[in-house]
Structure 1
Amino acid sequence: MTATAISYGHVTRVPVHFDDLDALGVLHNARYAVLIERAMINWWAERGVSFAGGRPTTSDAFNVVREYAITFHLPVRGTGEILVHFWLDNLGRTSAAYGFRFTSLDGETVFAEGRRVNVLLDPATMRPRSWSDEGRTLAETLLRG
């Protein structure tokens, strides 16, 4: 599976480092959340939606994880690179429901897959707010189907 082979979402290589492994020499379950977070943050940052100097670069950067679920199929053994494929299943007025999977570099082995829901917040009230037109346009490029 490569970036050109997918028909929706985004695929990126992520490194698995020695300190990501548990005592059994496999990717620790908690590290999957970190790896999907980094993959998604990098995608958004490449499009100008990030944080600089402790402040959001756009209003769409101020969002939080509301829900996270993952199913593990096979362990990632040892260090090296794996693929993270993520996409949007639904883009609501104030939320975005992502799907994701972790695979081998050839895309043949699915190690884990899951769902993550982010909610955009107003920094002053900490209440949900609507995505900007620019943020919505960017996010729509990740929609599945």
Structure 2
Amino acid sequence: MTTAVEPGHIEQVQIHFDDLDAMGVLHNGRYVLLLERALAAYWSERGWPFDPAVPHFADIFFVVREFAITYHLPITTVGPVDVHFWLDHIGTTSLVYGFRVLSADRSQLHAEGRRVQIKIDQTTLRPTPIGDDVREACTILLK
């Protein structure tokens, strides 16, 4: 199966031996981590460090509200995989990511899903609007 990669971004991440379960298959919970690693690398490369002491954007306090995934083909080996992600929607307080986990040659679709993040106020922990700087930085990922 050949898979298209536009729009969005593809970040290569590594599967390590300890990511595999007792059956030699990537543990289902590790797919969340693959997306997290891909997003962290993407934003870090663009000057958005994940160091609370050195924020690039004024409002970087996001939490995951929803995570949904459909598994298609198990990953059974260590090595690189590609995580393709994009934004389906930028709301007032939310970002909706779509994503796919692909083989490194992009011929196999292993999993796909979505992740919803909510920007919250650090004091009240209630949803608060996404600032213009973050919104602008995110537009390149819009589908």
What TM-score do the two structures reach when normalised by structure 1?
0.90
CA–CA distance in 2 between the matches of 1:134 and 1:78?
40
Q: What is the CA deviation profile of residues 55-101 of structure 1, one whole-angstrom value per residue up to 9, with x for unaligned ones? A: 46033321000000000000001101110000000110110000000
**Any conservation in 1 of the 2:93–2:119 contact (CA below 8 Å)?**
yes
User: Structure 1: 5+ residue runs without aligned partners?
Assistant: none
**2:137 alignment partner, SS class:** helix
CA–CA distance in 1 between the matches of 2:132 and 2:30?
33
The two structures, once aligned, show a CA RMSD in angstroms of 1.7
- The answer to whether 1:75 aligns with 2:74 is yes
User: Match for 2:98: what amino acid?
Assistant: G
User: Structure 2: 5+ residue runs without aligned partners?
Assistant: none
Q: What is the CA deviation profile of residues 83-129 of structure 1, one whole-angstrom value per residue up to 9, with x for unaligned ones? A: 00000001101100000000111211000000100001110111111
**Any conservation in 1 of the 2:40–2:50 contact (CA below 8 Å)?**
no
User: Match for 1:26: what amino acid?
Assistant: V
**Any conservation in 2 of the 1:83–1:102 contact (CA below 8 Å)?**
yes
Q: Corresponding residue for 1:95?
A: 94
Q: Corresponding residue for 1:24?
A: 23
Q: Corresponding residue for 1:64?
A: 63
Q: C-alpha displacement at 1:46, in angstroms?
A: 1.8
**2:43 alignment partner, SS class:** helix
**Any conservation in 1 of the 2:11–2:42 contact (CA below 8 Å)?**
no
Segment of structure 1 superposing worse, 37-46 or 8-17 = 37-46
Q: Corresponding residue for 1:141?
A: 140
Q: Corresponding residue for 1:115?
A: 114
Q: What is the CA deviation profile of residues 22-62 of structure 1, one whole-angstrom value per residue up to 9, with x for unaligned ones? A: 0111110000001101111221122222332x446033321
What TM-score do the two structures reach when normalised by structure 2?
0.92
Number of residue pairs matched by the alignment: 141
**Any conservation in 2 of the 1:50–1:61 contact (CA below 8 Å)?**
no
